Amino acid sequence: MLKRVFGLPLQSTSRRIFSQVTFRSMSEQAITTPVATPAVADSAKPQHPKNGKSKKSKLQVSLKTPKGTKDWSDTDMVIREAIFDTLSNLFKRHGGQTIDTPVFELREILAGKYGEDSKLIYNLEDQGGELTSLRYDLTVPFARFVAMNNIQNIKRYHIAKVYRRDQPAMTKGRMREFYQCDFDVAGAYESMVPDAEMLDIVVEGLTSLGINDFKIKLNHRKILDGIFQVAGVSDEDVRKISSAVDKLDKSPWDVVKKEMVVEKGQTEETADKIGEYVKLNGSLREVYDALTKDATISANEKAAEGLKEMESLMTYTEAFGIDKYVSFDLSLARGLDYYTGLIYECVTSASAAPENAAELKKKSKSSEDASEYVGVGSIAAGGRYDNLVNMFAQASGKKSAQIPCVGISFGVERIFSLIKQRINSADIKPIYTQVFVMAFGGGKDWTGYLPERMKVAKQLWDAGIETEYVYKAKANPRKQFEAAEKAGAPLAVILGKEEFAEGKLRIKRLGPEFADDDGELVDANDFVQIVQQKLSEVHEDGINEVTRLIKGL
């Protein structure tokens, strides 16, 4: 029997424990450590200490990450990698090919593309004659890539870090360095077909990450521009009025109206006319019907074009079965200057700031982190930008046909903050070990079977199975079980002294519910296939533990 061979009660040794090591974010607490450096000698009068030793000064170094950034480790990285895997698989399902671009771009490439948010771009020092800036998003670099390579059509995805010099809210996933996961389609296609697929990708992506209580707010820049024309906004003021309207999700109408009139020079009549429309929201059909019945809007050329496209979009969202997730919201403006058509952003109940945000901001003692008084914000956003590629091509002297583009971007850190709130990190192991190889025996001739364990582990690695063993020749049985428990391995392959000599291995499930199960004795030649079979039983429906937790299954 297994208990007799090991000489240990399995009840106490094979109990599965997900031991956790808490790595406190270095951005949460600065640790100051003195570092000795040579003193700089006084040029006028050399110093000669009495003891003959040179005098050293101490330099104080703050061991912290820069504002708005953090280190990632342990279970947090497991969750983030699961998000990346989920979204990259989604993008591949929709025909995406991946690219990568430099983390910094020529400053002129980024300049003038982000409206009022341009002030948030990180500019780098002149390095050898080129002015560069850290990329603010992945969309503008993609448009530059398409124009530079004269690409006529492409479905691309890109998962990479971007940088914004904004006020961080760390626990809400609003950071200065963060990942975006983008999917874009460039090329001329049937109107609104790629746009509808972007909305479906949002729904697929978020639901596959266990986020179901979300709404996709969408609007159309042509409709919005038509509303501004009807209200009397001049063409040169459209973008700055758009940025004011875009604040309606954070500020009441009277605050937005004041900005339009006092700060941006619009008349009270113009602001009130805009207010009649931008407060309108509802289902696609409801808002579409209301706008088509408005003779003033229907008569406007730009608005009429937008409404025609929205009519097509409704057909396609019904085909995808995603209407219930979509809201037509005329207050959505998206301040980025490059959008030309459909625009959208995805929000949840956690997106909005607390009702008493202003009061909380006054009471806040931290200038480093705004988490106390802001919300998560949008967790995914995007839209159509039909002129950006052509603008780059023309500016560089290239001959280029118009390359329409549409895309969606997922904010990983914001999504992470939502997932982190609803799962217990203690249920996630920070490593992926599936099998732990052990050996048990005794007597003066007992060597510990270390080379034999290594050979078994190698066979499992070659089969693609995550495997570990204790790095010690004669490993204590209890220590081996403890190591397996710490790794969270669901399965053990055991080399018993007498059994292995006869060409047999024992395969055992680990965990408290299997403490009294001795496992199955199998032929050493067949053990890999049996391990694979048992692991398929462990992962119900082929879904691993992390995916199951994130999806809320």
The pairing of strands 405-411 and 342-348 is: unpaired
**Strand partners for 158:** 182
> Measured between alpha carbons, how far is 300 from 63 in angstroms, rounded to an integer?
59
> Measured between alpha carbons, how far is 391 from 403 in angstroms, rounded to an integer?
10
pLDDT at 31: 37
pLDDT at 301: 94
pLDDT at 80: 92
> Measured between alpha carbons, how far is 230 from 232 in angstroms, rounded to an integer?
5
3-state class (DSSP) for residue 289? helix
CA angle centred on 297, ends 292 and 302, rounded to 5°? 105
> Measured between alpha carbons, how far is 195 from 322 in angstroms, rounded to an integer?
13
Q: How many CA atoms within 13 Å lie on the side-chain side of 334?
A: 28
Which of these, 169, 185, 180, 68, lies nearest to 135 by C-alpha position?
180
445 is in an annotated binding site: no
517 is in an annotated binding site: no
> Measured between alpha carbons, how far is 471 from 490 in angstroms, rounded to an integer?
20
**Strand partners for 185:** 155, 406
Question: Which DSSP category does 430 fall into?
Answer: S
447 is in an annotated binding site: no
pLDDT at 397: 77
pLDDT at 6: 40
The angle that helices 221-231 and 301-320 make with each other, rounded to 10 degrees, is 150
User: What residue has token string 């398929």?
Assistant: 536
CB 178, CB 412: distance < 8 Å: yes
* CA distances to 40, 58, 61, 284 from 54, in Å: 10, 13, 22, 77
* Residues 385-410 as b or e (16 or more Cβ within 10 Å = b): bbbbbbbbbeeeeeebeebbbbbbbb
Residues 252, 257, 263, 268: what is their CA dihedral angle, to the nearest 10 degrees?
-160
* CA distances to 194, 200, 260, 286 from 191, in Å: 8, 16, 33, 22
Which of these, 447, 378, 383, lies nearest to 414 by C-alpha position?
378
pLDDT at 28: 37
Which DSSP string corresponds to 177-243? Answer: EEEEEEEEEES--STTHHHHHHHHHHHHHHHHTT--SEEEEEEEHHHHHHHHHHHT--GGGHHHHHH
pLDDT at 169: 85
pLDDT at 349: 86
Radius of gyration, CA atoms only, the chain: 30
164 is in an annotated binding site: yes
184 is in an annotated binding site: yes
- For residue 88, count CB atoms less than 10 angstroms from its CB and return exposed for 0-12, middle for 13-18, buried for 19 or more: middle
CB 352, CB 375: distance < 8 Å: yes
Q: pLDDT by residue for the chain (553 residues), tens digit each?
A: 444 344 333 433 333 332 322 333 333 333 333 333 444 344 444 555 555 555 666 778 888 999 989 999 888 898 999 999 999 999 999 999 999 999 999 999 999 888 778 899 999 998 788 999 999 999 999 999 999 999 999 999 999 999 999 888 888 888 999 999 999 999 999 999 999 999 999 999 999 999 999 999 999 999 999 999 999 998 888 888 888 888 887 788 888 899 999 998 899 999 999 999 998 999 999 999 999 999 999 999 999 999 999 999 999 999 999 999 999 999 998 767 789 999 999 999 888 777 777 777 777 877 778 878 778 889 999 999 999 999 998 887 777 678 999 999 999 999 999 998 888 776 777 778 999 999 999 999 999 999 999 999 999 999 999 999 999 999 999 999 999 998 889 999 999 999 999 999 999 999 888 888 889 999 999 999 999 999 988 876 556 667 777 776 5
pLDDT at 2: 44
Residues 435, 439, 440, 444: what is their CA dihedral angle, to the nearest 10 degrees?
-170
